[in-house]
Amino acid sequence: MNEFSHKITVWYKQNHRSLPWRETADPYAIWLSEVILQQTRVDQGMAYYQRFLSQWPDVLSLSQASEQEVLKLWQGLGYYSRARNLLITAKMIVNNFDGAFPADYKQLLRLKGVGKYTAAAVGSIAFGLPNAVVDGNVTRVLSRVFGVQEAIDSADGIKKIESLANELLDKENPGQHNQALMEFGALQCVPSSPDCNACIFSDICIANMQGLVSSIPFKQKKIKTSVRHFNYFICTYNNGVTCELVIRHRSASDIWEGLYDFPLIETKEETCFLDLINSSEFLDWTKNKKYTLSKVSGIYKHQLTHQTLYARFFHLRFEDPFGDDIKNGLSLICENRLGEYPLPRLIDRYLQNIDSLDC
Ligand code: SF4
């Protein structure tokens, strides 16, 4: 074991958090935790990990779930392609690998949604495969300790970090080494103002010694974000017994694929109600039906990685049944069954803020 790996492993044994996916060698549970924890904080991911394992304790049971069930349990975590890929991979494991995760890096990479990071994490932790993980935490630690000046989002920077990570990897115990490095980045070498005086690498860390901690890792690209205005129509019809509600199944070509929201008109800027209801999109399916505008929400801002959404909700109480006009991805449900459908966080947030749909 090299000096770097030795130091970080000793640190890990003394400082690591006790987390359930560290207490198991089950590749299914490890894979589940790795997928959930991408772009998710540990405290938030923990509840999802436990819920998934309790509902689907093994890959066979998960493979038999429906996409709607998986998306519903995933609700609130964002990046929903991860949930869809979980299901696809579970089916692949059952159908192509006899229900057992392959103990082979290249085979792991063939699974849906499994990139280099996840393959290395699952492979090293569950099977002891000698592949180094490179995630945001590992990149930050290595680029600071070794003073990497190349942009970490450039081809040169990525190559340099990957080769450093593989050179340093303890091939005897790659799972522990990988977890130690990730944990060190999560707890000690944090993105802003790490406590370098209390760090095991303070005397060799180039970023620390050269006063570059706040500028490394360096990135060349700024994330471009676009702005979108979502005008939602919460359309209800009270038939005297139940309240009917129109919902929309989101299609493949946009954010939140497979989730449900409400009929929507998207505009480039904030648009008044009159312009919205006179638009062809609106008239196309409401077909001049009579309704009352019973409530209008304030504007809800919702930030995604590359998009800023501004949403407003208009509650429309219709006087007649919707009949055959419900098509093109729209469907009619009883309002009290809305909770069974996987909803984007924005919609869930709004529903939690209101007393009722005002049917
Ligand atoms: S000295 Fe500071 S910047 Fe360097 S590894 Fe330690 S915490 Fe990170």
Q: What is the pLDDT of residues 24-77, one digit of tens each?
A: 999 999 999 999 998 888 989 999 999 999 999 999 999 999 999 999 999 988
pLDDT at 322 over 90: no
Counting atoms of ligand 1 from 1, which one is nearest the CA of 194?
A: 7
Which domain covers residue 174, as residue numbers?
3-209
Residues 73 and 135 in one domain: yes
In ligand 1, which atom is closest to the CA atom of 188?
A: 7
Residues annotated catalytic, as ranges: 34
Q: Is 145 close to ligand 1, i.e. is its CB under 6 Å away?
A: yes
pLDDT at 191 over 90: yes
Q: With respect to residue 155, please indicate whether it lies within any of the assigned structural domains.
A: yes
User: pLDDT grade, residue 121 (50/70/90)?
Assistant: very high
In the reported structure, the alpha carbon of residue 219 is separated from the centroid of ligand 1 by a whole-number distance in angstroms of 18
CATH number at residue 333: 3.90.79.10
Residues 310 and 285 in one domain: yes
Q: What is the mean pLDDT of residues 244-259?
A: 89
- The pLDDT, as a whole number, for residue 38 is 87
Query: Which domain-ending residue is among 147, 174, 209?
Result: 209
Residue after which a domain boundary falls, among 209, 242, 258: 209
Residue 336 sits at φ, ψ, to 5 deg, of -75, 0
142 and 188 together in one domain: yes
Please state, as a whole number, how many other Cβ atoms lie within 10 Å of the Cβ of residue 48.
21
Last residue of a domain, one of 149, 184, 209: 209
Closest CA to 309 of 256, 248, 245: 256
Sequential DSSP letters for 32-79: HHHHHHTTS-HHHHHHHHHHHHHH--SHHHHHTS-HHHHHHHHTTS--
Specify the CATH number for the domain of residue 56: 1.10.340.30
Q: Residue 357 has what pLDDT?
A: 86
Q: How many CB atoms lie within 10 A of CB 158?
A: 15
Number of domains present in the structure of the chain? 2
Share of the chain above pLDDT 70, in %: 100
Closest residue to atom 8 of ligand 1, CA basis: 189
Whether residue 130 sits in one domain with residue 263: no
- For residue 201, the CA-to-ligand 1 centroid distance in Å is 6
204 and 307 together in one domain: no
**If pLDDT is split at 50, 70 and 90, which confidence band does 353 have?**
very high
Per-residue confidence (pLDDT) for residue 278, from 0 to 100: 87
Q: Does any domain span residue 144?
A: yes
Both 177 and 72 in a single domain? yes
Model confidence at 174, pLDDT cuts 50, 70, 90, reads very high
Which atom in ligand 1 lies closest to the alpha carbon of residue 202?
1
User: How wide is the angle at C-alpha 113 spanned by C-alphas 309 and 248, nearest 5°?
Assistant: 40
